[in-house]
Amino acid sequence: MKQFKFILSLLFSVAIFYGLNTKFGSIPPIGKFLNPYTGIWQNERSTEDFKDLSQLDGLTSPVNVHYDEALIPHVFAQNDLDLYRAQGYITAQHRLWQLEFQTRASAGRLSEVVGSDAIRFDRGQRRKGMVFGAENALEKMKEIPELVKNLEAYRDGINSYISSLSPADYPLEYKLLDYSPEPWTLKKTALLLMYMTDMLAGGDSDLKYTNFLKKYGKERFDLFFPDFYDVNDPVIPSERDWSDFGEVSSPDIPGGDSPIAYVSGLLPKPHPDNGSNNWAVGPEKSYSGNAILANDPHLGLNLPSIWYAMQLATPEKNTFGVTLPGAAGIVIGFNNDISWGVTNATRDVKDWYKIQFKDKSRNEYLHNDQWKATTKKIEEIGIRGEKTFYDTVVYTHHGPVTYDASFTDNEELVGYAMKWAGHLGGNNQQTLLELNKAKNYEEYEAALTHFVAPAQNFIFSSADGDIALWIQGKFPNKWEGQGKFLLDGNNPAHDWQGFIPQEHNAHVKNPERGFVSSANQHPTDESYPYYVFNDGYEAYRNRVINDFFRSKEKFDIQDFKDLHNNNYNLKAAELLPHMIQNLDIAQLNPEEEMLLGEVGAWDYYNEIDKKGATIWERWWIQIRNMVWDELAKDENDMPYPFAYQTIYLLKNNPNDKFMDILETPEIETASDLFILSFKKAAADIKSWKDRNGDYAWGEYKSTYVGHLLQALPALSRFNLPIGGNSGIVNATSQNHGPSWRMIVEMSDPPKAFGIYPGGQSGNPGSKYYDDFIDKWAAGEYLEILFMQDESSKDGIMFTQTLTPKQ
């Protein structure tokens, strides 16, 4: 009996230990997770109890970090190395888990943490050559020894913080997923920059376009996907003439056919709304005579926020702005002399080549009618709780063969290789550090030359009164039509033939109109001497912004704030009256008539209390789906024509064959679709109303900011009262929108306002985790404290001093 009781209690003890120490599926190990001395209760704090005196290995002088009331650190160091070391340390202090998680995602290493659910994602990252690109970028960075020293200081700062932690101090997400942080490396900084490159320049439609071309032919393609829309208000104003470029040469269109093949099972593209607005007015258009600049990058709305605000100062420079956790320096910001911002340039810098392998070994491929050797990279994908997965990725001189028989259901001897500017190896990090200390237009222009991808519209203003905009990236100099569709991997004339010279990248300085702006629209008009086609350009925000700046003489900061928060829906204004006019009202029931009345009386502003906006948005989605049902139902991945062209066709080609709905025996035209889609939209709204009540736009859209871990409801913020939508200057859709709004007036010292939908702390237990969100949703800003020196502590909550290790 005694033995029996002994064994039973032993078994129970082992069982409860195992049960509370082990992660089951998504349930964290409960004992580890809930105990108050190493579990989540240790994360229940708002200011992290930063030690006043943190000793930091490698510092040469003390660094003072003054935190203002928004928990924004103002860092004062004696030299660059100390500054970047402190930046790494402080960033890790607030955002360690995010730092690491984003670079893991970039490198295709999520399966190590979350298990086999992430294999397809990880394989995709490896096959896109994310690590290949990061390694090439790292080589490029190493060409500048001073940069390497700065990045090493940044790295060591992060690692000093990591090594000061015990498991009790780990950020919450490590406890939730039950793993530990690993040391930072320079390669991780390169991987973070690749993560951004992929987000902003990783999209292309070449293979979908090819599928469309094969099925419908060139004439139909050109109608649905024109190189230019019939309206164009480009980034570089049309007044710009390009005669200063002199003689320009582009490669001739080669003879020979391009391969035409259906390719499907394609990797997901980045969010189509990844884009931004920026604008600046010069002295003559400014209320004060100081240039004023604004920027708002539109990205996924996540917590912890993608941005972390900081002031970075040494005796030589003083810069404020937002940083990307993982990269040194300020990414978007200002100093006493200049301010700058970015929007995505959205150029086609990713092309696909059809590859013919000699045999199943895939050791050789055909190029210029000769068999050439491939190289192979064996990707080891660690999977939590399971055996490592091995994936062989074949590389040609074009780049990685992303799609082949081992990944998609290709023929065995055929592959599709990617050529991408993201693989070229650029030094974006150097651009950032040079911009941080740039004093004038010339230094801004020089800083940009290192920047390869993702191509950006770099807007600029200075205390001298200059405004400028460079569309900066490394762009292949293409023959007309090159890379719009699948290319022939065998034909050397299909290879990239060279690049547009740096000085011929489209740019404008102090244009006559007195302002510069960009909103992901066409970079130029057709007069630009190099080949550019419409690869997904926005056609609405740019026109609203430019019309605003043409509308009067002078602009002040309130005008800038109003424009950031402008909810005017130009797309609706261009289609809705036409739809209503061509609607067969006789077919409506009383409830539908009421909705028509509401949308008819709507003023085209997507404000939170407007029901008309909800009706329009529903109607638009339904009509778009009906027009393009042929494409959605196709067995191959098909591209969707852009909103502008869809509306153009509805108005100008109402009897096009695409207007027909496949499922019905009748042949529909555009006006049939108007009524059918309206009825469908009305039914959608009715069912929404039955479930949720009021269908005012704010509630219907229900914007949320989601935690990076699949928007875990506990750690996310829902139902935010904010207007706007995709295609509107206030580009806030359900989970996407302005991720940092900044306005800077180049007075002495600069006056600045900024806000982002998050908070400085990455710790969900901190009151600073999401404290900017309500202000952001209300269209308010933080008045930026830009400390000129350390003598005044106005607005400072507390100071942390980092001292050299004794």
> CA distances (Å), 514 to each of 136, 472, 525, 745, in order?
40, 21, 19, 15
Euclidean distance between CA atoms 516 and 509, whole angstroms? 8
Let me know: does 305 contact 715? Beta carbons within 8 Å. no
Report long-range pairs for 363-369 (Cβ below 8 Å, ≥24 apart): 365/396, 365/415, 365/489, 366/489, 366/490, 367/396, 367/397, 367/489, 367/490, 367/492, 368/490, 368/491, 368/492, 369/490
The only residue of 23, 42, 84, 109 in contact with another protein, by rule CB under 8 A: 42
Closer to another protein by Cβ: residue 152 or 771? 771
12 binds another protein, rule: CB under 8 A: yes
764 binds another protein, rule: CB under 8 A: yes
49 binds another protein, rule: CB under 8 A: no
715 binds another protein, rule: CB under 8 A: yes
Considering only the stretches 31-39, 131-139, 273-281, 307-315, report the one whose residues sit in contact with another protein under the rule CB under 8 A: 31-39
SS3 content of the chain, % helix, strand, coil (to 5): 35, 20, 45
Closer to another protein by Cβ: residue 191 or 715? 715
Euclidean distance between CA atoms 76 and 310, whole angstroms? 11
Helix H or strand E encompassing 85: helix 80-107
Q: CB under 8 Å to 302, separation ≥6 — which residues?
A: 705, 706, 707, 708, 758
Closer to another protein by Cβ: residue 39 or 750? 39
Closer to another protein by Cβ: residue 46 or 406? 46
44 binds another protein, rule: CB under 8 A: yes
21 binds another protein, rule: CB under 8 A: yes
Number of residues that bind another protein (CB under 8 A): 41
Q: Angle formed by the axes of helices 611-627 and 670-692, to 10°?
A: 130
Pairing between β-strand 487-488 and β-strand 350-356 as defined by DSSP bridges:
parallel
378 binds another protein, rule: CB under 8 A: no
Closer to another protein by Cβ: residue 223 or 712? 712
The only residue of 511, 654, 721, 765 in contact with another protein, by rule CB under 8 A: 765
Let me know: does 256 contact 493? Beta carbons within 8 Å. yes
> Which one-letter amino acid corresponds to residue 596?
L
CB of 67 to another protein, least distance (A): 17
Let me know: does 279 contact 545? Beta carbons within 8 Å. yes
Considering only the stretches 44-52, 74-82, 201-209, 447-455, report the one whose residues sit in contact with another protein under the rule CB under 8 A: 44-52
CB of 273 to another protein, least distance (A): 28
Q: Which two tokens stand for residue 612?
A: 């008309």
SS3 category, 220: helix
The only residue of 766, 772, 773, 785 in contact with another protein, by rule CB under 8 A: 766
Closer to another protein by Cβ: residue 172 or 575? 172
172 binds another protein, rule: CB under 8 A: yes
3 binds another protein, rule: CB under 8 A: yes
Let me know: does 68 contact 787? Beta carbons within 8 Å. no
> CA distances (Å), 527 to each of 47, 235, 349, 440, in order?
55, 13, 20, 29
Subset of residues 397 to 456 that bind another protein, contact rule: CB under 8 A: none
251 binds another protein, rule: CB under 8 A: no
CB of 674 to another protein, least distance (A): 44
30 binds another protein, rule: CB under 8 A: yes
How many degrees, rounded to 5, is the angle at CA 70 between CA 787 and CA 456?
A: 75
Closer to another protein by Cβ: residue 4 or 390? 4
Euclidean distance between CA atoms 441 and 444, whole angstroms? 5
167 binds another protein, rule: CB under 8 A: yes
CB of 719 to another protein, least distance (A): 15
Closer to another protein by Cβ: residue 586 or 714? 714
16 binds another protein, rule: CB under 8 A: yes
Residues 174-193 vs another protein: string with x where CB under 8 A? Answer: --x-----------------
Considering only the stretches 41-49, 75-83, 240-248, 473-481, report the one whose residues sit in contact with another protein under the rule CB under 8 A: 41-49
Considering only the stretches 12-20, 215-223, 241-249, 388-396, report the one whose residues sit in contact with another protein under the rule CB under 8 A: 12-20
> Which one-letter amino acid corresponds to residue 652?
N
The only residue of 573, 583, 588, 712 in contact with another protein, by rule CB under 8 A: 712
Closer to another protein by Cβ: residue 7 or 53? 7
CB of 692 to another protein, least distance (A): 20
Considering only the stretches 16-24, 57-65, 459-467, 731-739, report the one whose residues sit in contact with another protein under the rule CB under 8 A: 16-24
Closer to another protein by Cβ: residue 319 or 761? 761
226 binds another protein, rule: CB under 8 A: no
575-596 in b/e burial notation, b at 16+ Cβ within 10 A? bbebbeebbeeeebeeebeebb
Q: What is the dihedral sign for C-alpha 671, 672, 675, 677?
A: negative
CB of 167 to another protein, least distance (A): 7
Closer to another protein by Cβ: residue 181 or 297? 181
Question: Residue 22 CB: number of other CB atoms within 10 A?
Answer: 14
Residues binding another protein (CB under 8 A): 2-3, 5-6, 8-10, 12-13, 16-17, 20-21, 30-32, 34-46, 167, 172, 176, 712-715, 764-767, 769
